[in-house]
Amino acid sequence: MEPAERFSGIRKGLLEFLTLKVINAKPAYAADILAAFSGTSFATQEGTLYPLLSKLRRDQLVDYEWQESEAGPPRKYYRLTAKGKKELASVEAYWKDIIKEVADLGS
């Protein structure tokens, strides 16, 4: 099995965390989030991202506002909530611990 295949579950599991990270760096449209992921191992599609953003909003980690644009209809502009920022910080701390454990195990 290719390493990429082995890690597909892990990549899928990390997507929520990474979406929060991307939105935290800069509030964004869905298209911007997809652009941020494209070219990386986490490249994803609208069919996956929209349900995920919806779940994050249901969990009150992100919120959106409608933004008008000259070249078309209004679009949703996502940003993190305070709860989302806290959650991101705690997940990032956990992530750093896990990376360290992975590095230490078996060495």
Task: State in angstroms the smallest separation of the CB of 44 from another protein.
Answer: 7
User: Residues 68-87: x/- map of binding to another protein (CB under 8 A)?
Assistant: ----xx-xx-----------
Phi, psi of 9 (to 5 degrees): -65, -40
In Å, how far are 30, 73, 77, 79, 94 from 68, measured between CA atoms?
A: 15, 7, 10, 16, 38
User: Residues 28-67: x/- map of binding to another protein (CB under 8 A)?
Assistant: --xx------------xxxxx-xxxxxx-xx---------
Cross-sheet strand order for the sheet of 62-69: 28-29, 72-80, 62-69
For residue 23, with 0-12 CB atoms within 10 Å meaning exposed, 13-18 middle and 19 or more buried, which class applies? buried
Contact status: 19 vs another protein (CB under 8 A): no
Beta carbon nearer to another protein, 20 or 53? 53
Task: State in angstroms the smallest separation of the CB of 49 from another protein.
Answer: 9
Please give the single-letter amino acid code of residue 98.
I
Contact positions vs another protein (CB under 8 A): 30-31, 44-48, 50-55, 57-58, 72-73, 75-76
